[in-house]
Amino acid sequence: MVHVPYKWVDGAVLGEHSKKKHQVLRRYISEYLNIRCSMPQQSRFRFAIIDGFAGAGAYQGGEPGSPLIFLELLLEQTQEINVRRTASGMAEIQFECLFIFNDLNRDAIEILKQNVSPFQNRCNQRHDLSAKISFMNEEFETAYPNIKKHLAALKLTRNVFFNLDQCGNSWVSRSTIVDILTTYQSSEVLLNFAAQSMFTYLSRNNPVALKKTLKQHGVDEQQVEEISRVASKREWRAAIEKLVFESYRRCGPYVSPFAINNPDGWLYWLLHFANEPKARQVYNDLLHENSGVQGHYGRSGLNMLTYDPSNEGQDYLFTDTDRQRAYEELFYDIPRVVSEFGDAVSIGDFIRGVSNETPSHSMDMAQAMIDNPDLSVRTENGGERRSASGIRSTDTLILKPQRSFLLMPPLKQ
């Protein structure tokens, strides 16, 4: 694949899709800190952020890059959390954070060191914050074993976030993602994957090259042969997209395969991998705040990657119309999933079972449970839960014995 190097020395230009990525990153990390620092008894929070493709930290015009976004957020958010906690009589949290910034480009790392320095000084002045910042200058895959050693030496075995903003789609192996998610408890990976550039180099007429490229993404030869019989180019492409999605989905228990559609047509996936369902849900919910640029193939209710030819290609774009469509599908889908468990399931188990299968906002899902006459949500004490915002993971979702006739899915002609 042709690889255009970033010109960090002259000042790199911040592209539209990177702005969107930064927006998602900002919101996600801010939620990440809020959620993980919400326990009243907590007094210490240790975490690590590894930016494997960090860049130089600043773009033309002074726009911050991902490392500075992380540092800015750390300074702002931790202060806000502690002010809030003190005001409500809770103990302050002592934040201990390790940052590892890696980039293959030496210039990028040297410029980054200068850009990071004022932030390190600001961290040093805070009594409630200890930030340790390390720099590496290697290919990410070569750096990864040393990153692991570094984390092990500091006994950082959980709360590890990897930002893998590769240019292209081939600089991070699937086995490394699996290794991260199985090594660290509460770990998350945000992977940039230039899907469009993968398609640019795929050709139906060159099966050898096709198999070789797709093998790298975990798609085996037999799967490639099976789709070679698909008639139209569009369907062939959709089939490949689905195979590659699914291959990456197998890397971790909770994966959000969403795409950023650039106005000029380049398509990027921003894949979020987590080993906890809550992280998946938070990421998914915040994508609704950035509607219009993301989409994904498949259905909008549950089982989003279950292909229905009549629905294929109808992207969920996180808009109000998509949310309404998803809400309607959830009406049929939720009772169906509950019946697969029997006639009752705890909300926690239900969410664990379906969160990989839907782009729906968690509030839409909760509202669909409350509004559905075939379902009842019961609290731990057995009382009826009446509001969507009150639903807890310890509640039970019950399928009523007499299903209403009106809510049966329409028969297919």
What are the residues binding ligand SAM (CB under 6 A)?
Answer: 6, 18, 53-55, 65-66, 102-105, 108, 139-140, 165, 167, 171
Smallest distance, ligand SAM to C-beta of residue 138, A = 7
Comparing CB distances to ligand SAM, the nearer of 193 and 332 is: 193
Handedness of CA 101, 268, 191, 96 (dihedral sign): positive
Smallest distance, ligand SAM to C-beta of residue 411, A = 50
Smallest distance, ligand SAM to C-beta of residue 268, A = 10
Smallest distance, ligand SAM to C-beta of residue 271, A = 15
Encode 212-233: b = buried (16+ Cβ within 10 Å), e = exposed: ebbeebbbeeebbeebeeeeee
CA distance 267 to 44: 40
- State the distance between the two ends of the chain, measured CA to CA, in whole angstroms: 47
Alpha-carbon separation of residue 172 from 320, 371, 413 (angstroms): 35, 44, 46
Comparing CB distances to ligand SAM, the nearer of 18 and 247 is: 18
Please name which of 340, 234, 221, 370 lies closest in space to residue 297, comparing C-alpha atoms.
234
Which residue type does 115 have?
N
Comparing CB distances to ligand SAM, the nearer of 197 and 355 is: 197
Smallest distance, ligand SAM to C-beta of residue 262, A = 14
Comparing CB distances to ligand SAM, the nearer of 19 and 204 is: 19
In the numeric block, which tokens belong to residue 9? 């020395």
Comparing CB distances to ligand SAM, the nearer of 3 and 386 is: 3
Smallest distance, ligand SAM to C-beta of residue 66, A = 3
CA distance 232 to 326: 28
Comparing CB distances to ligand SAM, the nearer of 143 and 279 is: 143
Q: Are 119 and 68 in contact (CB under 8 A)?
A: yes
CA distance 234 to 341: 37
Q: Is 30 left (phi over 0), alpha (psi -120 to 50) or beta?
A: alpha
Count CB atoms within 10 A of the CB of residue 407.
Answer: 13
Comparing CB distances to ligand SAM, the nearer of 106 and 392 is: 106
Smallest distance, ligand SAM to C-beta of residue 181, A = 20
Smallest distance, ligand SAM to C-beta of residue 319, A = 26
Smallest distance, ligand SAM to C-beta of residue 23, A = 11
Q: Are 359 and 316 in contact (CB under 8 A)?
A: yes
- Give the residue nearest to ligand SAM (CB): 65
Comparing CB distances to ligand SAM, the nearer of 105 and 396 is: 105
Give the pairing of strands 267-274 and 185-193: antiparallel
Handedness of CA 385, 386, 387, 388 (dihedral sign): positive
Q: Are 46 and 217 in contact (CB under 8 A)?
A: no
Comparing CB distances to ligand SAM, the nearer of 23 and 34 is: 23
Q: Are 96 and 48 in contact (CB under 8 A)?
A: no
Which residue type does 323 have?
R
CA distance 163 to 185: 16
Smallest distance, ligand SAM to C-beta of residue 274, A = 19
Provide the Cα torsion 22, 37, 187, 146; round to 10°. Answer: 80
Comparing CB distances to ligand SAM, the nearer of 111 and 337 is: 111
